[in-house]
Structure 1
Amino acid sequence: MSDTPFAAIILAAGKGTRMASDLHKVLHPLAGQPMLHHLLGTIDALGAARAVVVVGAGRDQVEAALAGREVAVAVQEPQRGTAHAVRQAEAALAEFSGDILILYGDVPLVTAETCARLLDRLNAPDAPGAVVLGFRPADPGAYGRILAEGETITGIVEYKDADAAQRAVTLCNSGMMAVRAADLWPLLGQIGNANAAGEYYLTDLPMLVHAAGRPAVVVEAEPWEVAGVNSRAELAAVEALWQGRRRARAMAEGATLIAPETVWFAWDTQIGRDVVIEPHVVFGPGVTVADGAVIRAFSALEGAEVGPAALIGPYARLRPGARIGRAAHIGNFVEVKNASIGEGAKANHLAYLGDGSVGARANIGAGTIFCNYDGYFKNRTEIGAGAFVGSNSALVAPVTIGAGAIVAAGSVITRDVAPDALALARPDQGQKPGWAARFRTRMAAKKAEG
C-alpha cells in the first residue's frame, strides 16, 4: 500500500428515517458491532492517520459510541448534499496534507483491500486527480452512473438527472473516493447545486479535478462491498452478505459447518481447525473456539472461550466469562457465566454454573445450581478436581467443594466441604406404611359425596 499518510472522512449525516428507529442509523449492529465500527476497523487496519465522522442529528449517540477512540466528529446542519457534508470535516483536517479517503457510514462492507487499491491508484506514477469506486450490480436501478473511457471518467451523473442513454450504462457510482487534501478543499468550494435536488453533489468533484488538468479514474469493486443500509430490510440483507462470507471463510480455514446457513457469527468470532458446528448455533461477540471442539445444535455463545476438543451443547448457553477447558463437556440446557470449567470436567444436563470454577475431571449432576447472588453481591463457588456433585444440588456461594469430595444428590450446601469428604445436606427420609392407599380411599369417598 502507498506510504502517503491518509485520513478518512465517514459521512453519516443522513436522517435514516426509513430505519424507523431512535438509534442513529450507523450505530445499528452488523454481526454484533455497529456498522460505523466496521468501517473504523477497516481504516484502522490500513493505518489511517486521522478519521472524521460527519453527522447530522444524533451527534450525542455517535460521540458516545466513539468514546475512547481518536475520531473527530463534525456536524452537517442542515443537510445540503454529500459535497456539503465533506466540507464540514475541513476544520478537523485543517493541518492534514495527505490523502483523503471518503467513505459512507451506512456502507459498512467495503474491505481494507479495496480501500488500499483506491489509495494506491491515487499515488500511481501517472498521478490521477481523484479515484472513484465503481461497481456493476445485476440491477443498476437508481444508482448514479459513471461514464468512462477505459478507467478515465468522463462524467458522473445522478440517476434522476440522467437521460435514457446514461441510464443504460451499467457502471455505477458508490460515492466512495480517494483524493488529495490539497485538491479536495479548494475544489469543494467550486461545486454548485444546479441539479434536480438543489444539493451539492460530491460526484461533481472528479470532473472538477479533470478540468484542473488531471484525470479522475475509476476502480471497480464487487457489488456486495458497496451494499448500503437505509432500512431494516437492507440491514438484514447486508447481514446476510456478511454472514455468508464469514461462513465460507470458516469452512475454508478448516471448520465443518453442517448447515452453514443456520450458523450466525459475530464480527470477532475466532474458530479453530477441525471444529464442528452443528445447525442453529449463534455466536455473540467475544467468542474463541479452539481446535477440535464441537458445538452442537441450538447453542448460544457470547464472550466465551472454548478449549480444544471440548463438547458444547446441544441447547447450551455460554455467557461472558465462560472458560471451557480441554475436552470438557457442557451439555443440554447448561448455562455457564463467568466460570472456568477444567479439563475433562462434565456438566451434561440442566445446570447453572455462575461465578466459580470447576476442577479437572469433576462431574456436575443434572439440576445443579451455583447460588451465586445474594441480592447484593455475586459470590463464587469453587469445586476441586475430581469432585462429584449429585443431581439437584444447590451450592450456596461463597462455598468450596474440595478435590475428590462427593455431594449427595438433593443437597443444599452452605458450608465448605473438605477434600474426599461426603456432604449430605437433606432431611432423613421417613415412611408411613399404607398411607397412600388410605389417602386414595378417603379422597375417592369425598369425590363420590360431592
Structure 2
Amino acid sequence: MGNHVIILAAGQGSRMASDTAKVLHEVAGFPLIAHALRAAEALAPERVIVVTGHEAAAVEAAVAEHAPEATCVRQTEQLGTGHAVLQAEGALAGAEGQAFVLYGDTPFIRAETLEAMAEAPADFAVLGFEGDPAARYGRLVTSGDVLERIVEWKDADETTRAGTLMNSGVLRGDVQAMLQLLREVGNDNAAGEYYLTDLPALAASRGLTTHVVRCDEAETLGINTRAELARAEAAFQARARAEALETGVTLVAPDTVHFALDTHIGRDALIEQHVVFGPGVTVESGARIRAFSHLEGAHVSRGATVGPYARLRPGAELSEDVHVGNFVEVKNALIAEGAKVNHLSYIGDADIGERTNIGAGTITCNYDGVFKHRTVVGARAFIGSNTMLVAPVNVGDEAVTGSGSVITADVAAGDLALGRARQVAKPGLGRKMMERLRALKAKG
C-alpha cells in the first residue's frame, strides 16, 4: 500500500481578474500547479491525480509538462471540494493506501508537514493552523488533537467563529474509505455545495479516528488575488535567499536577487546585485555571477564568471573558468574550459573550444529565416572583433579570423581567415563631403 495524491485545480479564480486559470499564474518562474506537484513528490506517491475544470486544457498541458506521470480528470461542474475529489474515483480504482488532498493554488506546503500528516496516529488527518479570529477560514473543532468536525465560515455561529484553529483544506485518509464517505456527503449548507470538510465528522460517526496536524500559517497561504500572488512571490524569494545564505552562497545584495523554484547554487558561489534566475539554472561552487545578469536554462561550472549585464538563455553550458562578460548573450551553446567571450557578442547554437578568445562584437549567424545552424570553433582559436560567423561553419584549432570578417566557409586549423572588402581611400573627399553637408544644413 502506498500514497496517492489528489490535487484540486478546477476553480476559476475569479478574484484574480484574469482570463488565465488561477493555477497557471506563476510564482518563482513556475505556475502554481507546478509548486503543488513538487510538494506531492515528497510523498513518493504511486498515483497523482489532478482535478481540472476551468481552462482545463491549458491546466492539463501544464501538468503534462511538469509531471508527465500524473493523471488529469475533469470536474465539468464545480459543485464543491467534496464533489471535486470524487472525480478522481475512476483514476483510483483498486488503489490501496493513503490519499492526500492538496490544492493547486497553495504552493508552500513543506515536505516535513506532509510527512507529519502521513505519520499522524489516526485514520484521517487534517492540516490546521492558528490564525486571526477575523479570518474567513473554516474552523477546526477539536478535543485536544482529536478533530471532531470542520465548520465552514458561512455555516459557523459566533462561538465557532471565535476559534483560532483554522482549516487549511489539506487532508489525508485511507483512499477507499475517503471515497466511500464522500459518496454520503450532502449539500445542505449555505453554499449548496458538497464539502470535503464534512468528511471528518462523517468519519467520526463511523468510528474512525481523526487527528489535527498543526503547521505555520505561511505554509497554507492560498492565492486568490493578484495581491496575494505578489505576497507569495515575496515570501518565496525571502525564503530562497535565506536558504542560499545558509548553504554558503554569497549574496552581495540579497533583496535584489530573484530565484526560480528550481535554482541550484553551489557553496562559495558569489552572486552580485540585481541578478535574475529563470527556471533551470545550476551555478556550481566558486562561480561568480556579476550584476544585472539574467540566466535561464543554463549551467555555469566551477570558477566561471558571468556578466555584468550578461544573458544566458536555455542550453547555455559554461565549462570551468569560462568568462562571459558584459552585454554577451549565449543560447544553446557549449563554451569549453577557459574560453572567453567578454564583450558585446552573441553566441548561439555553437561549440566554442577550450582557451578560445571571442573578440568583441562577434556574432554567430545561426538562423537563415527557416532553420537554425551550428557554429563550431576549435580550441585556442582567436576570433577577431566584429567577426560574423555565418553558420553552418567550422573554425579549426588555433585558427584566427581578422577583425570585421564575415566567415562563410570553414577555416582549417592554424589558418588566418580574412573576409572583408578591401579598404579604399579617396584623398580629401571626407572633408569635402562634410563641408557640403554642413552647408545644406545651414540653408535649413
Report how far residue 277 of structure 1 moved.
Answer: 0.8
The residue number in structure 1 matching 2:426 is: 432
- Checking the alignment, whether the CA contact within 8 Å between 1:405 and 1:418 is kept in structure 2 is yes
SS at match of 2:333: strand
Give the one of 231, 239, 245 matched to 1:237: 231
Distance 1:449 1:42, change over 3 A: closer
Q: Which consecutive segments of 4 or more residues in structure 1 shift more than 6 A?
A: none
Give the one of 30, 50, 53 matched to 2:27: 30
Distance 1:100 1:448, change over 3 A: closer
Supply the AA of the counterpart residue of 2:35: H
Report how far residue 225 of structure 1 moved.
Answer: 1.1
5 Å-filtered alignment, 1:159-170, equals 159-170=153-164
Give the one of 296, 310, 314 matched to 1:316: 310
The residue number in structure 1 matching 2:87 is: 88
The residue number in structure 2 matching 1:102 is: 101
Supply the AA of the counterpart residue of 1:418: A
- Checking the alignment, whether the CA contact within 8 Å between 1:334 and 1:348 is kept in structure 2 is yes
5 Å-filtered alignment, 1:165-204, equals 165-204=159-198
Residue by residue, what CA displacement relative to the aligned partner does 1:335-391 show, whole Å, maximum 9, x if unpaired?
Answer: 111111121111111000111111111111111111111223222222222211121
Residue by residue, what CA displacement relative to the aligned partner does 1:43-94 show, whole Å, maximum 9, x if unpaired?
Answer: 2332212222222233322333333733333332322221222222222223
The residue number in structure 1 matching 2:61 is: 64
Distance 1:441 1:204, change over 3 A: closer
Is 1:120 aligned to residue 114 of structure 2? no
Q: TM-score, normalised by structure 2?
A: 0.93
Report how far residue 396 of structure 1 moved.
Answer: 1.2
Give the one of 304, 323, 340 matched to 1:329: 323
The residue number in structure 1 matching 2:410 is: 416
Residue by residue, what CA displacement relative to the aligned partner does 1:287-317 show, whole Å, maximum 9, x if unpaired?
Answer: 1111100001111111111111100011111
CA distance in 1, matches of 2:224, 2:439: 71
Distance 1:261 1:139, change over 3 A: farther
Report how far residue 142 of structure 1 moved.
Answer: 0.8
CA distance in 1, matches of 2:348, 2:25: 30
- Checking the alignment, whether the CA contact within 8 Å between 2:339 and 2:353 is kept in structure 1 is yes
SS at match of 2:328: strand
Is 1:297 aligned to residue 291 of structure 2? yes
Is 1:388 aligned to residue 385 of structure 2? no
The residue number in structure 1 matching 2:110 is: 111
SS at match of 1:142: coil
Report how far residue 270 of structure 1 moved.
Answer: 1.4
SS at match of 1:395: strand
Residue by residue, what CA displacement relative to the aligned partner does 1:218-240 show, whole Å, maximum 9, x if unpaired?
Answer: 10111121111122222222222
Give the one of 42, 45, 48 matched to 2:45: 48
Q: Which moved more, 1:368-377 or 1:34-43?
A: 34-43
The residue number in structure 2 matching 1:402 is: 396
Aligned-pair Cα RMSD in Å: 2.0
The residue number in structure 1 matching 2:269 is: 275
- Checking the alignment, whether the CA contact within 8 Å between 2:36 and 2:105 is kept in structure 1 is no
Is 1:150 aligned to residue 144 of structure 2? yes
CA distance in 1, matches of 2:435, 2:68: 76
- Checking the alignment, whether the CA contact within 8 Å between 2:102 and 2:170 is kept in structure 1 is yes
Report how far residue 140 of structure 1 moved.
Answer: 5.2
Report how far residue 448 of structure 1 moved.
Answer: 5.8
The residue number in structure 1 matching 2:278 is: 284
Residue by residue, what CA displacement relative to the aligned partner does 1:2-44 show, whole Å, maximum 9, x if unpaired?
Answer: xx51211111221222223333222333322232222223323
CA distance in 1, matches of 2:268, 2:427: 59
CA distance in 1, matches of 2:205, 2:40: 30
Give the one of 17, 21, 39 matched to 1:20: 17
Distance 1:94 1:358, change over 3 A: closer
CA distance in 1, matches of 2:97, 2:338: 56
Q: Which moved more, 1:424-433 or 1:266-275?
A: 424-433
- Checking the alignment, whether the CA contact within 8 Å between 2:129 and 2:168 is kept in structure 1 is yes
Report how far residue 446 of structure 1 moved.
Answer: 5.0
Unaligned ranges ≥5, structure 1: none
| Amino-acid identity (%) | 53
CA distance in 2, matches of 1:18, 1:280: 32
Distance 1:447 1:313, change over 3 A: closer
Distance 1:201 1:312, change over 3 A: same
Supply the AA of the counterpart residue of 1:113: E
CA distance in 1, matches of 2:220, 2:279: 24
The residue number in structure 2 matching 1:368 is: 362
The residue number in structure 2 matching 1:9 is: 6
- Checking the alignment, whether the CA contact within 8 Å between 1:129 and 1:210 is kept in structure 2 is no
Distance 1:226 1:430, change over 3 A: same
Q: TM-score, normalised by structure 1?
A: 0.92
Residue by residue, what CA displacement relative to the aligned partner does 1:111-162 show, whole Å, maximum 9, x if unpaired?
Answer: 22211111111xx3xxx23111001235751111112222122332222222
Q: Which moved more, 1:95-104 or 1:329-338?
A: 95-104
Is 1:213 aligned to residue 207 of structure 2? yes
